[in-house]
């Protein structure tokens, strides 16, 4: 799947001269392809107090896949629940490779095969202490077992990783001998773990280098955090030649856990300049999902995503951050989906005090600001309160400090949301805008009076985001505003094409997007002839509007005649008979959400037991859908074909691949947010605000 690559996520000012000291280490990785394997559902569940349900595991896998990890590990041998989760993940069509984990035993490998795994990971202890006290076998027997397991797995067609458990406490000669033996037996990868976290970064480099120089297959690193060195050791292992690193969400795992996904990803992006195809902006949502399932929060001082990661308290720190956040933030909070917060209390300085007083509507001078700060100190009550710094707060401060900072005013981003019904979606858009510091104006298009000789200046501020449900109102208001020079999302061309199913079909066909065969007639007899041309089973849709309304399945001539007679008695638009071939598909279709040049989310829409239609507004059930390369490609092509913008693309699965059957220019998304956990409203508002800034 093509994902957004985070190139140069921070400015040079944030890193300063650190590159002068990091140079040799950084250069070792800059041009290499680094893979991330997430083991939250395997290593993570070995942590005390950590467990997931079958449904939760699948949801976590979807989120990890959308984030962009290369592989997801799970152990189907642990329990029937884990076996079922593994099989569901294998069958879900995720872009990430599903790695089924087990012991180096034939009976365990049989379980991997039963869950349809294409890639397995088996392990065997190699250190003296493990062989003597855990397994009570000789080194020679351990090698025999490992070789036998590899040969057995390979004979059944599995691609395979072999983990040399407790490698960091194994003599170099035995480690090399075991690695070469399993490579010769057919292992596709070898994992070098620091099983009890005893390595220093320099030692981990030499350990991995020892194996790297002894075998030709790719190397993994798996570093435990018993002494707090897992991240440093994982990076050292990559520098030494490993190309895949194991992580978990929040670093959860056995004992003190392993390397944290967020910290590893951001370190590679920011310090090493590695191009990772990951969506770091969704880290906050991912961590909230996982820790919400677990029932506890990440440690407050955890880097990047702990509660205190972006809190600033000391007076001099607050003053610096509000002038230039890079003074104390090497990684902007937005990069990981978070926001900074200012803590007010007895450590408050005069600049922070001035900001707070201005926020309260006062105009303090330096003396009054200093007096307020000293009063806060005299209270000796510690931290009194904190403020989350959204864009509006930061803009307010920068304006108040213009003379000190030498900067000018920041442009206020304003978006007018046009509506005729305030649905849950519009409320979500307003809430997202507030979080992002975007000024929003709500305008009810039912109350608009358009003057051909007037100006829309008093109606619309900034960019207009058109969300009117009525197609005709939506179309005509958009046309008026666009002709008057107002930027509207979606634009008039998109509304015209996507709002009319016939024009949509023509645009898709012209762009080479696969669609069902469609016939359009203009009389009852012509429509009946079209129905027969489609094989005696077709779907009749209104050419405008729908949401599942007036969509009819014509599965017999009598039914076709009756429905077409009814249409004759309706308005003229219903005498445009739009018929699509009936497509054999699973009891579901797919709705993907395209925002600009990105597919931000997708759901399966399952038809209810008593209906063949899948619309969630008609009782269809929504489930998360992985964004495969095929789905992403066809969604983006369909969106571009109709003019682009903020769109819902509906597709059906067939034996030949996906077919796009509709494109919606005003998609609902409440159910999609509920089941995917993705902030679709936020993605939309960020896109519209970006247009406003341009």
pLDDT in tens, 245-304: 999 999 999 999 999 999 999 999 999 989 888 989 889 999 999 999 999 999 999 999
Q: What mean pLDDT is predicted for residues 81-91?
A: 95
Residue 407, pLDDT above cutoff 50: no
Distance of CA 693 to the CA centre of its chain: 24
* CA–CA separation, 453 and 451 (whole Å): 5
**The pair of three-digit structure tokens given for residue 620, joined into one six-digit string:** 């269809």
Quickly state the pLDDT bin for 403 (edges 50, 70, 90).
Answer: very low
**The pair of three-digit structure tokens given for residue 89, joined into one six-digit string:** 């993940």
252, burial (CB in 10 Å: exposed 0-12, middle 13-18, buried 19+):
buried
Taking 3-state DSSP, the helix, strand and coil percentages for the chain, each rounded to the nearest 5, stand at 45, 20, 35
Pick 341 or 354 by higher pLDDT. Answer: 341
Q: What mean pLDDT is predicted for residues 400-418?
A: 60
Q: What mean pLDDT is predicted for residues 32-54?
A: 96
Mind listing the domains of the chain with CATH numbers?
32-294 (3.20.20.70), 311-405 (no CATH)
* CA–CA separation, 278 and 267 (whole Å): 13
Q: What percent of the chain has pLDDT over 90?
A: 59
What confidence score (pLDDT) does residue 4 get?
34
Helices assigned H by DSSP within 69-216:
80-91, 106-114, 128-130, 139-155, 172-185, 201-212
What confidence score (pLDDT) does residue 8 get?
47
What confidence score (pLDDT) does residue 109 get?
97
What confidence score (pLDDT) does residue 562 get?
86
b/e burial code for range 533-572 (CB count within 10 A of at least 16 → b) = ebeeebbbbbbbbbeeeebbbbeeeeebeebbeebeeeee
Quickly state the pLDDT bin for 113 (edges 50, 70, 90).
Answer: very high
Q: What percent of the chain has pLDDT over 70?
A: 92
10 Å Cβ neighbour count for 455? 11
Quickly state the pLDDT bin for 392 (edges 50, 70, 90).
Answer: low
**389, β-bridge pairs:** 340
* CA–CA separation, 342 and 361 (whole Å): 18
Lowest mean pLDDT among 112-126, 132-146, 408-422, 428-442: 408-422
Over the Cα atoms of the chain, what is R_g? 29
**71, β-bridge pairs:** 37, 97
656, burial (CB in 10 Å: exposed 0-12, middle 13-18, buried 19+):
exposed
What confidence score (pLDDT) does residue 225 get?
97
Do residues 97 and 119 touch, judged by C-beta distance below 8 A?
Answer: yes
Give me the phi and psi of 429, to 5 degrees please: -65, -40
For 630-669, what is each residue's pLDDT tens digit? 999 999 999 999 999 999 999 999 999 999 999 999 999 9
Closest by CA position to 454, among listed 492, 488, 491, 486? 486
Helices assigned H by DSSP within 16-114:
18-27, 54-67, 80-91, 106-114
Do residues 614 and 588 touch, judged by C-beta distance below 8 A?
Answer: yes
What confidence score (pLDDT) does residue 619 get?
64
Quickly state the pLDDT bin for 222 (edges 50, 70, 90).
Answer: very high
Identify the helix (H) or strand (E) that includes residue 560.
Answer: helix 557-568
Q: What is the DSSP string of 454-475?
A: S-GGGT--SEEEE--SSHHHHH
Do residues 25 and 56 touch, judged by C-beta distance below 8 A?
Answer: no
Identify the helix (H) or strand (E) that includes residue 317.
Answer: helix 315-323
Residue 611, pLDDT above cutoff 80: no
pTM above 0.75, yes or no: no
* CA–CA separation, 391 and 552 (whole Å): 48
For 367-377, what is each residue's pLDDT tens digit? 887 887 788 77
Identify the DSSP state of 444: E
- Mean pLDDT over the full length of the chain: 88
Distance of CA 597 to the CA centre of its chain: 15
167, burial (CB in 10 Å: exposed 0-12, middle 13-18, buried 19+):
buried
Pick 321 or 87 by higher pLDDT. Answer: 87
What confidence score (pLDDT) does residue 93 get?
84
Do residues 56 and 40 touch, judged by C-beta distance below 8 A?
Answer: no
Count of alpha carbons within 13 Å of 208, Cβ hemisphere only?
29
* CA–CA separation, 263 and 255 (whole Å): 19
447-to-76, 262, 415, 420, 422 alpha-carbon distances in Å: 59, 48, 19, 9, 14
Contacts of 612 (CB under 8 A, 6+ apart): 553
**The pair of three-digit structure tokens given for residue 412, joined into one six-digit string:** 């206020």
Lowest mean pLDDT among 30-34, 40-44, 304-308, 313-317: 313-317
Lowest mean pLDDT among 475-479, 516-520, 540-544: 540-544
What confidence score (pLDDT) does residue 409 get?
45
For 415-436, what is each residue's pLDDT tens digit? 999 999 888 899 999 888 877 7
Residue 315, pLDDT above cutoff 60: yes
């Amino acid at each position: 799947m093509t994902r957004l690559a985070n190139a140069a996520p921070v400015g040079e000012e944030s890193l300063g001269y650190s590159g002068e000291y990091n140079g040799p280490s950084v250069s070792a990785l800059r041009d290499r392809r680094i893979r991330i394997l997430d083991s939250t559902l395997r290593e993570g569940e070995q942590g005390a107090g950590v467990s997931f349900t079958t449904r939760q595991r699948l949801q976590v896998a979807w989120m990890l896949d959308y984030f962009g990890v290369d592989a997801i590990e799970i152990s189907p041998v642990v329990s029937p629940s884990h076996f079922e989760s593994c099989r569901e993940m294998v069958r879900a069509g995720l872009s990430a490779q599903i790695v089924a984990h087990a012991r180096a035993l034939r009976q365990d490998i049989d379980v991997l095969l039963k869950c349809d795994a294409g890639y397995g990971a088996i392990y065997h202890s190699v250190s003296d202490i493990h062989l003597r006290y855990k397994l009570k076998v000789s080194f020679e027997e351990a090698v025999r077992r490992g070789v036998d397991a590899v040969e057995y797995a390979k004979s059944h067609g599995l691609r395979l990783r072999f983990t040399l458990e407790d490698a960091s406490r194994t003599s170099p000669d035995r480690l090399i001998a075991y690695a070469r033996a399993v490579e010769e037996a057919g292992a596709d990868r070898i994992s070098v773990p620091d099983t009890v976290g005893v390595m220093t970064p320099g030692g981990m480099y030499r350990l991995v280098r020892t194996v790297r120089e002894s075998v030709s297959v790719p190397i993994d690193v798996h570093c435990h955090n018993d002494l707090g060195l897992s991240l440093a050791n994982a990076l050292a292992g990559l520098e030494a030649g490993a190309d895949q690193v194991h992580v978990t969400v929040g670093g959860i795992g056995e004992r003190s856990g392993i390397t944290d996904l967020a910290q590893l990803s951001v370190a590679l992006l920011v310090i090493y300049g590695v191009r990772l195809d990951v969506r770091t902006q969704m880290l906050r949502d991912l961590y909230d999902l996982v820790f919400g399932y677990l029932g506890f929060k990440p440690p407050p001082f955890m880097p990047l995503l702990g509660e205190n990661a972006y809190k600033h308290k000391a007076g001099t720190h607050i003053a610096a951050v509000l002038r230039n956040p890079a003074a104390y933030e090497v990684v902007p909070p937005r990069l990981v989906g978070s926001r900074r917060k200012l803590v007010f209390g007895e450590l408050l300085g005069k600049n922070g005090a001035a900001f707070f007083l201005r926020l309260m509507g006062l105009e303090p001078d330096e003396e009054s600001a200093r007096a307020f700060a000293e009063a806060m100190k005299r209270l000796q009550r510690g931290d009194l309160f904190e403020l989350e710094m959204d864009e509006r707060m930061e803009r307010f401060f920068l304006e108040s400090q213009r003379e000190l900072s030498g900067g000018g005013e920041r442009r206020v981003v304003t978006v007018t949301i046009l509506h005729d019904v305030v649905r849950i979606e519009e409320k979500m858009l307003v809430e997202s805008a507030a979080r992002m510091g975007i000024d929003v104006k709500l305008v009810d298009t039912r109350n608009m009076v358009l003057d051909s000789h007037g100006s829309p200046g008093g109606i619309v501020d900034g960019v207009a985001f058109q969300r009117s449900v009525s197609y005709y109102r939506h179309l005509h208001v958009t046309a008026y505003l666009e002709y008057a020079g107002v930027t509207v999302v979606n634009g008039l061309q998109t509304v015209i094409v996507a709002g009319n199913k016939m024009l949509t079909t023509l645009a898709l066909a012209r762009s080479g997007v696969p669609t069902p065969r469609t016939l359009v007639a203009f009389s009852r007899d012509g429509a009946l002839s079209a129905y027969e041309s489609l094989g005696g089973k077709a779907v009749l849709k209104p050419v405008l509007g729908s949401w599942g309304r007036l969509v009819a399945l014509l599965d017999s001539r009598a039914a076709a005649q009756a429905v077409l007679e009814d249409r004759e008695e309706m308005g003229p638009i219903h005498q445009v008979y739009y018929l699509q071939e009936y497509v054999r598909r699973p009891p579901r279709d797919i709705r993907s959400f395209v925002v600009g040049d990105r597919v931000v989310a997708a759901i399966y829409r399952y038809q209810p037991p008593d209906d063949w239609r899948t619309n969630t507004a008609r009782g269809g059930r929504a489930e998360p859908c992985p964004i495969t390369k095929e789905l992403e490609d066809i969604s983006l092509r369909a969106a571009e074909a109709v003019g682009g913008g903020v769109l819902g693309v509906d597709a059906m699965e067939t034996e030949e691949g996906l077919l796009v059957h509709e494109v919606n220019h005003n998609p609902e998304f409440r159910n999609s947010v509920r089941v995917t956990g993705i902030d679709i409203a936020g993605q939309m508002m960020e896109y519209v605000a970006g247009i406003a800034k341009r």
